[in-house]
C-alpha cells in the first residue's frame, strides 16, 4: 500500500474564455505547477510531496493562482505566485533549506581534501618524503603495497567519483 504524502498541493490551472468570472488561474497556475514540480524534484521529495493540477477551486484570484493544501492550517491559499514556491513547500524533509550546487561542491571538496591528507600522511608513514604526486603513482613505490593505505586511497577514489558525477549532473541541469 502506498504511504500518504507529507504534503499534497492542488494547483488550479483552470482557463475560462470570455467569462464574467475572469480568465481563471490558467497560465499562472501552469507556471506555478511547473515551478513546484521542479522544486520538489530538486529536493528529491517527489514521493513525499505531491503536486496535482486541478480545475477551479472557487477562489478565482486576480494574480497568481489558487492552491489547496493538505494537510495545513490554511487549506486554500489564493494569489499564490512562483515566488512563493519555497514558502509553500516549507522546509525540506531534513528541516533545512535545500543545499545549492555551490554548497554541495564545497562540502565534497572539503571531505576530499581531508581524505587526501589522510592518504598522504599514511603514505609518508610507510615511506617518508613521498609527495602527493608520488602517491598518485603507487606502483612506483613498493612500500605502498599496504592494505590500510589501499583502503584509504580507495575511499579517496570513491569521493572523487562522486564529485565528478555531481559536477556532470550540474552541467546537465544547466542545459
Residues that bind ligand FES (CB under 6 A): 12, 14, 24-25, 56-57, 59-60, 66
Nine-digit cell string for 31: 507556471
DSSP letters, 86-128, are HHHH-S-TTSSPPPPHHHHHHHHHHHHHHHHHHHHHHHHHHST
Nearer to ligand FES, 15 or 150 (CB): 15
Work out how close the CB of 24 gets to ligand FES at its nearest, in angstroms, rounded to a whole number.
3
Work out how close the CB of 152 gets to ligand FES at its nearest, in angstroms, rounded to a whole number.
59
Nearer to ligand FES, 59 or 111 (CB): 59
Report helix angle 101-126 to 147-174, nearest 10: 160
Work out how close the CB of 59 gets to ligand FES at its nearest, in angstroms, rounded to a whole number.
5
Work out how close the CB of 111 gets to ligand FES at its nearest, in angstroms, rounded to a whole number.
47
33 neighbors 1 (Cβ within 8 angstroms): no
Q: How many of the other CB atoms lie within 10 Å of CB of 77?
A: 19
Nearer to ligand FES, 12 or 123 (CB): 12
Work out how close the CB of 87 gets to ligand FES at its nearest, in angstroms, rounded to a whole number.
19
What's the CA gap between 91 and 88, in Å, rounded?
Answer: 9
Nearer to ligand FES, 43 or 53 (CB): 53
What's the CA gap between 67 and 33, in Å, rounded?
Answer: 10
Nearer to ligand FES, 3 or 62 (CB): 62
Amino acid at each position: 500500500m502506498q504511504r500518504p504524502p507529507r504534503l499534497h498541493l492542488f494547483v488550479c490551472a483552470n482557463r475560462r474564455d470570455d467569462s464574467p468570472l475572469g480568465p481563471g488561474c490558467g497560465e499562472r497556475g501552469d507556471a506555478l505547477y511547473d515551478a513546484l514540480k521542479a522544486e520538489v524534484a530538486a529536493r528529491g521529495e517527489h514521493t513525499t510531496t505531491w503536486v496535482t493540477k486541478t480545475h477551479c477551486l472557487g477562489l478565482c484570484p486576480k494574480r497568481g493562482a489558487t492552491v489547496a493544501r493538505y494537510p495545513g492550517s490554511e487549506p486554500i491559499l489564493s494569489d499564490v505566485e512562483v515566488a512563493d514556491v519555497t514558502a509553500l513547500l516549507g522546509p525540506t524533509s531534513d528541516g533545512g533549506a535545500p543545499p545549492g550546487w555551490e554548497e554541495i561542491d564545497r562540502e565534497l571538496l572539503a571531505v576530499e581534501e581531508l581524505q587526501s591528507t589522510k592518504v598522504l600522511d599514511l603514505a609518508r608513514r610507510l615511506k617518508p618524503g613521498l609527495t602527493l604526486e608520488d602517491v598518485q603513482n603507487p606502483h612506483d613505490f613498493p612500500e605502498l603495497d599496504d592494505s590500510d593505505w589501499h583502503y584509504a586511497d580507495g575511499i579517496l577514489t570513491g569521493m572523487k567519483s562522486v564529485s565528478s558525477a555531481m559536477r556532470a549532473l550540474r552541467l546537465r541541469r544547466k542545459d
